[in-house]
Amino acid sequence: MADFDFDLFVIGAGSGGVRAARLAALSGAKVAVAEEHRVGGTCVIRGCVPKKFMVYASEFANQVKTAKGYGWAVEPPRFDWKAFLTAKDVEIARLSGIYVTNLRKAGAHLLHGKARVIDPHTVEVEPKEGSEDGGRYTAKRILIATGGRPTKPDFPGAELGVTSNEAFHLPELPKRILVVGGGYIAVEFAGIFNGLGVETTLCYRGSNVLRGFDDDIRSHLADELEKRGVKVILGCSHQSLEKTATGLVSKLNNDITLETDVVLFATGRAPYVEGLGLETVGVKLNERGAVAVDSYSKTNVDSIWAVGDVTDRINLTPVAIREGAAFAETEFFDRPTSFDHEAVASAVFSQPPVGVVGMTEAEARHAFGAVDIYQSAFRPMKVVFYGGQERSFMKLVVRQDDQRIVGVHVMSPDAPEIIQMAAIAVKMGVTKAQWDSTCAVHPTLAEELVTMREKYVQPGVGTVA
Ligand code: NDP
């Protein structure tokens, strides 16, 4: 050990890096963490956490509408974007501070600067302005946890659009926005801006939003987005983007021209490997440009590991945390641990939100052939009371031969909360009969999930085999 400055050098203080660093330091190891921006990474600084605050802020518009139906007299509400941004930034700074405190409490050494791997046991830190953390450091192990970065499509004028990074700091709330993409970030931000009163259009190149999700969830969500006021254009791609005196003009295919104040590209994220020096030490990347790792998050170089979005396995904060923890367990607590990437639940904070765990119907049919489907689309009692039209949708995918529930798909208020609990049962291999033996909690939305007894028969198809 005396040969190295540190037992572990972590590059990137986001969710995965911080968890690995803290656990390793708690084992008594000497740990350094380098971060070129703010401690907390994408999730805390420019991702999940500020996004959720924006979702909360934007939901009040619908709540005000609902309140009227319940007898409240409500003045026309007014939203103050700048006041919200100030409050949001205060909270993000507090959370980032907690990350710093926790790292220090565990005994990790925090370095402010951009780190680059020089050789399998050496890292060079270029200090951030005002920091004196620069220099070369040696380490027995190096962990790459640099996350991902938003990408923009390549067409004339694309540089005029922003990404999610900037969406958290727009100087003014726009009157009109075009959101490009159909993934998590696109549908979440479309809901946010629509809720905040911005005229919102979502332009997606494919046949329906949320590719990879269950087809019924995709179509129900697209309907609900439109019901709530988002204009959804499918099969839509950009030809150019131009700045004019009055805004940004998007020339789309099918001769559509659309002027908005902001164009937000939610067109995917790429692993952040630039400037890390990985090529100089021979760390292999996969075909998607992500750091290639084995099930213990180890790269092809014996002293280098990688966790989180930079490995592009499942790009979710809790997954990065579990990968970081598994790495620390294996390397510093002598407990070989690899994170199981099966049946990881996820939530999309669209409006209404979506929660899913396990396989889609199409995936299950492909894998197992025969499946039973149970599904329900309905207006929740809260909505029916005031005459609203928003619907919820729930679906169970059951493997026919052993009746195991292999997929749960929920689009409803509180779907992310509901799916967290459902995920436990699915992970444990619950059967439909065991699931049904659970008594309902009444009156709730979630009770619908345990009271679906009739197999779904596709209209016009007869039995679904
Ligand atoms: P996604 O990969 O989910 O979606 C990217 C979208 O952009 C897709 O609809 C894709 O279309 C489209 N797209 C890609 N390239 C182009 C292009 N050149 N022109 C037009 N459209 C394009 O990425 P996101 O950016 O939404 O999110 C990144 C990841 O971050 C997610 O996959 C998720 O893992 C994570 N995330 C998780 C959240 C959560 O847990 N709630 C929230 C936000 C992000 P196509 O479908 O045709 O490929």
Instruction: Round to whole Å and give the CA distance between 50 and 441.
Output: 32
Do residues 23 and 332 touch, judged by C-beta distance below 8 A?
yes
Beta bridge partners of 242: 249
**Chain-wide mean pLDDT for the chain?**
96
Dump pLDDT digits (tens) for 156-204.
Answer: 999 999 999 999 999 999 999 999 999 999 999 999 999 999 999 999 9
Same domain, 165 and 106: no
Annotation marks residue 112 as catalytic: no
How many CB atoms sit inside 10 A of residue 78's CB? 6
Final residue belonging to a domain, choices 267, 292, 313? 267
Query: Is residue 261 domain-shared with residue 350, that is, in the same domain?
Result: no
Q: Rounded distance, CA 44 to CA 81, Å?
A: 20
Q: Are 296 and 179 in contact (CB under 8 A)?
A: no
Indicate whether 249 belongs to any domain: yes
* Ligand 1 pocket mutation, candidates 48, 188, 202, 205, criterion most atoms within 8 A of CB: 205
Q: Which domain holds residue 195?
A: 158-267
Single-letter residue type at 297:
S
Residues 309 and 389 in one domain: no
Kindly report, residue by residue over 320-374, the tens digit of the pLDDT. 999 999 999 999 999 999 999 999 999 999 999 999 999 999 999 999 999 999 9
Number of separate domains in the chain: 3
Question: Given strand 262-265, what is the order of strands in its sheet?
Answer: 231-234, 199-204, 176-180, 262-265
Collapsed DSSP state (helix, strand, coil) of residue 365: helix
Question: Is the beta carbon of 186 within 6 A of some atom in ligand 1?
Answer: yes
Residue 156 CB: number of other CB atoms within 10 A? 12
Q: Are residues 129 and 234 in the same domain?
A: no
β-sheet bridge partners, residue 257: 251
The answer to whether residues 351 and 426 belong to one domain is yes
In the reported structure, the alpha carbon of residue 139 is separated from the centroid of ligand 1 by a whole-number distance in angstroms of 35
Give residue 419's pLDDT. 98
**DSSP string across 178-227:** EEE-SSHHHHHHHHHHHHTT-EEEEEESSSSSSTTS-HHHHHHHHHHHHH
Among 304, 332, 360, the domain boundary falls at 332
For ligand 1, say whether the CB of 213 is within 6 Å of any of its atoms.
no
Query: Does 15 sit in the ligand 1 pocket, CB within 6 Å?
Result: no
**Which atom of ligand 1 lies closest to the CA of 211?**
46
Is 77 inside a domain boundary? no
Residue with tokens 């040969």: 3
Pair (88, 39) in one structural domain? yes
Any atom of ligand 1 within 6 Å of the Cβ of 148: no
Q: Is residue 54, in this structure, part of any structural domain at all?
A: no
Please check whether residues 33 and 140 belong to one and the same domain: yes
Asked if residue 136 and residue 26 are part of one domain, the reply reads yes
Residue of the CA atom closest to atom 17 of ligand 1? 153
120, 132, 262 from 116: Cα distances, Å: 11, 16, 35
What 3-state class would DSSP assign to 346? strand
Task: Tell me if 205 CB under 6 Å of ligand 1.
Answer: yes
Answer yes or no: do 228 and 111 share one domain. Answer: no
Residues 225 and 351 reside in one and the same domain: no
CATH classification of the domain holding 317:
3.50.50.60
Do 322 and 362 lie in one domain? The reply is no
List pLDDT tens digits, range 367-412. 999 999 999 999 999 999 999 999 999 999 999 999 999 999 999 9
Scored b (16 or more CB within 10 A) or e, 455-464 reads: ebeeeeeeee
